[in-house]
Structure 1
Amino acid sequence: MIILAVLGLILGILMALAAVALKLLGLKPPLIFDKYPLKGLFYRVKYWIALLVLRRLRYRIYHRNEELLGSEEHLAKVDRPQQLSNDPKSYDVVSFMAANKDGQKLLVTLERRRRGVLKAALYLWLPESGLFSSPNLPDMVHFTTDDGAESSEFQGGGFHVFQEASMRVWRIKYCGALKSQGPEVQNVPVDLDLRFESSSAEHFDYSRDLSSSLIADSIAREAWNEKFYSLLRSVNHILEKRTHYEQNGELAGKVTLAGRQVPLKMVGFRDHSFGTERCLSSINRYVYFALFMDDGSSMVVGSLSQPSFFLSSLKVGYVCSPAGEYHPLTGSNFELYSYGEKGTPPQHQNFIVRTEEREYLVQIQVEASAVRYVGGDWESKVFNQFVACTVNGVSGQGHAEFLYRHKGGRPQDISSGDPSWYRDIKRFERSLTLLEEEGADVDFVF
């Protein structure tokens, strides 16, 4: 009886200690601008726990399955345009960013959604001519099929982007008009035909290759409450719903502007993302840099704030060597609250990032910028910047994106031209928001 009593006492003490520990780990850390968490009192303990769990999780999902995930069959499956599922939030996105020593820059992004909805944007920056953009911007929505029938490829609105060789070659075609920027806005007839080619199937998978230390840093800053543990229990399910990888390569071809041929040859990358978890309405902010150096290397640096996903301050990115080797960033002093928090992106940015091998001083100078709205109801506002840069003394060119929440909706003068079936869907979605608590995040279908 005495032994049982002692064991009961020990068990009770252990349970009490566990409850206290969970209570302490759930304490809310200090916040900057009520959004961005600092390192709390138990940050170091939480960091090492998160790092251990992340490494174990990645080993189980990715590293012990490297042979399967690296097979030609699997890569061909994830690289082609994806069949959109019955989930109304199903998406498939392909994007290209590129630049060269002459300062020419190109951005193309196409997002396929259900019922033939295509959200597309094209920007072309030519130093001697200025900035050109697809004519419907800042709105991105195109309707590519009759009566909302499904579509199976990246095509519509003058665009056709398609695969020629799995994980190696993609083509970008656009025939229509581009809008010139400046004192007089003009629509210029354009015929663009470019070929993106990568030297190998190597790529950077964000779920597999992002630095575990950066993710652990972000998680350790959060309050570990019941909602957090619930999310943790479903992490496998969440990872299955999103895929995002980038691949560096060369972009070459020609563009004909109002009868004038302009040859293009750039260093760039292709981004492919698909799944059912891409809800811009839950993202507070992000900043993203894609930089291409004159020595053939490139760099991606990002910072994301998505508090509803317990990633209020997540740094991401990598450095790609001239030989095509990817090195994930392990540290960054780029903090969202220091750069454009009030809604206006800065024209200059200086920050430091690190990989395991090296530290990089990044200096940014903006040359031009434009605005577009993302989401079926303009949930987000994106400033696209076209920049010159210097990284550890090496010159380069590139792109920057600053995303902010936007609550103004899609203007009536634009949405009035939408097909009736699409207007009915959006009207139904807005009626659902009346059932939500004021200020709650709403995930729109399109």
Structure 2
Amino acid sequence: MLFEIILLAGLGLAGFLLFGKPEPEPIFGVYKEPGKWYYLKYALFYCIMLSRKLIGNLTKGVNRTGYGLKSHPTLADMDVAQKLSPHSKAFDAVFFMATTKDGFYLVGGAERRHSGVVNGLFYVAVPGVGLLCSSKIPDTVLHGARENEFGAEGIRFIPIEPMKHWRVEFEGDMWHHDDPNKTSKVVVRGDWKSNLPYFDFDTDSNISTMCSAIARESWSREYFEFLKNAHQSHYEQMGTLKATVTLDGKEYRLDCQAFRDHSYGFKRDWKLMHRYIFHMLFLEDGTTASIGVICQPCTCSVLKIGYVYKPDGTLYPLEWCDLQLYQHGENGSPPRDHAFSFKAGGTVYRVQVDVEYESIHYKGEEREARMVERFVRYHVNGKVKGRGVSEFHYNNSNDVKRGTV
């Protein structure tokens, strides 16, 4: 009897302390910390994600979308230009990155919008020459895009075979980042190819990282409506890019490690995004990785996502990452020399980052998003070298208020 009394008293005291415990204040008023209901919400959302994965497995071929579900029943339906939704901020975007061991970089992207508008950009970095930028950078608003095509004004990305082959093309003037008054004629013709599996962030991400992100947030009917309406389908894939770059008549033949992604959804509103950091790593031992930390306060203020391809091509989701947004460039100026660690496939990777080139471009009709594109060298676990691209995103409306732009 005494044991039962002590147990009930202990449970009552624990409940009193828990209910009376205040929720922690978000770091810098933005980044949520785990609160008193964190573990309960984690468990509940874990069950939700497992059930959605089960539904996805049982209803293959049915057009259902969302967390835990494939956006399309076939690869042919996924890996092509998508029909834009009727929303004014409807989007369909592809992005490509590639590097070589000796220091060439290629980066290009096209975000399809309504009325033939594309947010398009292209970068080329050539050893001994430097970084070159497509003519409209830092702006990226291009016009005259044809229906169901990625690109405009000399930039084109063409799907050839789903999840296997894309054509990458650029032709036009580029300005030199270290001498903006100098321009060069540049032509890029390349073929991105892969026989590796793609990583679908809806179905392949570690459930634990998603549950941790959702459990931090304050739950309400409005919150889950935001979560539903802001959802975007997104997948990535590593491969190779064989390309010819002609710079003022001089030809370079490149054999690159390469990355691509494809995102689409009902809408993309850059004003909702506070910040993100992404690192795409191409290591000399054949390891490749994509690691990201995202802060979109209306859905997840701290979301860590990503994956690693081991040298043999096996694919593992991110388990954890210690990269914190608020510790890296929160004032609008990203660090040029920093480090972070992450784990995937049972291996811990400790990454040193050293920036070679850096450029800024904007996305959105009102320049709502400021992207700091960084072309970097990596040093992993003290012994493996590599190169890659990192992107620091800032909400430009916030930057204007801070006076950093």
TM-score, normalised by the number of residues in structure 1:
0.79
Whether the 8 Å contact between 2:246 and 2:252 is mirrored in structure 1 is yes
Q: Pick from 323, 326, 332 the counterpart of residue 321 of structure 2.
A: 332
Aligned to 2:8: none
CA distance in 1, matches of 2:226, 2:394: 25
Pick closer, same or farther for the CA change 1:249–1:138 going to 2, 3 Å.
Answer: same
SS of the residue aligned with 2:346? coil
Q: Deviations over 1:189-221 (max 9, x none)?
A: 111101000124x20001111111111111111
Shift of 1:409: 11
Aligned to 2:7: none
Whether 2:275 is the aligned partner of 1:280: answer no
Whether the 8 Å contact between 1:363 and 1:390 is mirrored in structure 2 is yes
SS of the residue aligned with 2:85? coil
Code of the aligned partner of 2:46: L
Whether the 8 Å contact between 1:29 and 1:221 is mirrored in structure 2 is no
Code of the aligned partner of 2:58: R
Shift of 1:54: 1.7
CA distance in 2, matches of 1:67, 1:225: 32
Q: Deviations over 1:81-139 (max 9, x none)?
A: 12223332221111101112112111100111111001101111122211011011000
Q: Pick from 388, 395, 398 the counterpart of residue 398 of structure 1.
A: 388
Aligned to 2:190: 194
CA distance in 1, matches of 2:126, 2:86: 41
Whether the 8 Å contact between 1:285 and 1:403 is mirrored in structure 2 is yes
Aligned to 1:173: 169
Aligned to 1:210: 205
Whether 2:352 is the aligned partner of 1:352: answer no
Q: Deviations over 1:334-378 (max 9, x none)?
A: 110010011100011211111241111111111110000111110
SS of the residue aligned with 1:337? helix
Shift of 1:52: 2.1
Q: Pick from 170, 181, 188 the counterpart of residue 185 of structure 1.
A: 181
Shift of 1:51: 1.8
Pick closer, same or farther for the CA change 1:125–1:282 going to 2, 3 Å.
Answer: same
Code of the aligned partner of 2:389: H
What pairs up with 1:63-142 in 2 under 5 angstroms? 63-65=57-59, 74-142=74-142
CA distance in 1, matches of 2:377, 2:157: 27
Aligned to 1:427: none
Shift of 1:27: 6.5
Code of the aligned partner of 2:155: F
Whether the 8 Å contact between 2:281 and 2:388 is mirrored in structure 1 is yes
CA distance in 2, matches of 1:353, 1:263: 34
CA distance in 2, matches of 1:315, 1:208: 15
Pick closer, same or farther for the CA change 1:184–1:273 going to 2, 3 Å.
Answer: closer
Aligned to 2:51: 56
Instruction: Looking at secondary structure, tell me which structure has more helix per residue.
Output: 1
CA distance in 1, matches of 2:179, 2:224: 54
Q: Pick from 12, 22, 28 the counterpart of residue 33 of structure 1.
A: 28
SS of the residue aligned with 2:267? coil
Shift of 1:229: 4.8
Pick closer, same or farther for the CA change 1:66–1:290 going to 2, 3 Å.
Answer: farther
Structure 1: gaps (5+ residues) = 1-16, 411-446
Structure 2: gaps (5+ residues) = 1-11, 63-68, 401-405
CA distance in 2, matches of 1:212, 1:112: 30
Q: Pick from 210, 222, 227 the counterpart of residue 227 of structure 1.
A: 222
CA distance in 1, matches of 2:170, 2:19: 56
Pick closer, same or farther for the CA change 1:24–1:289 going to 2, 3 Å.
Answer: farther
What pairs up with 1:155-166 in 2 under 5 angstroms? 155-166=151-162
Whether the 8 Å contact between 2:165 and 2:194 is mirrored in structure 1 is yes
Code of the aligned partner of 1:89: K
Aligned to 1:439: none
Aligned to 1:243: 233
Whether 2:308 is the aligned partner of 1:312: answer no
SS of the residue aligned with 1:58? helix
Whether the 8 Å contact between 1:248 and 1:324 is mirrored in structure 2 is no
Q: Deviations over 1:158-180 (max 9, x none)?
A: 12211122221110111111111
May I ask how many residue pairs the two structures share in their alignment?
380
Whether the 8 Å contact between 2:24 and 2:33 is mirrored in structure 1 is yes
Whether the 8 Å contact between 2:343 and 2:349 is mirrored in structure 1 is yes
Pick closer, same or farther for the CA change 1:325–1:185 going to 2, 3 Å.
Answer: farther
Pick closer, same or farther for the CA change 1:314–1:155 going to 2, 3 Å.
Answer: closer
Shift of 1:324: 2.5
Deviates more, 1:154-163 or 1:362-371: 154-163
Name the larger-Rg structure: 1
Give the CA RMSD over aligned residues.
Answer: 2.7
SS of the residue aligned with 2:151? strand
Pick closer, same or farther for the CA change 1:50–1:394 going to 2, 3 Å.
Answer: same
**Share of identical aligned residues, percent?**
32
Pick closer, same or farther for the CA change 1:36–1:178 going to 2, 3 Å.
Answer: same
Aligned to 2:258: 268
CA distance in 2, matches of 1:329, 1:408: 30
Shift of 1:32: 0.8
TM-score, normalised by the number of residues in structure 2:
0.87
Whether the 8 Å contact between 2:293 and 2:323 is mirrored in structure 1 is yes
Shift of 1:28: 4.2
Code of the aligned partner of 1:269: F
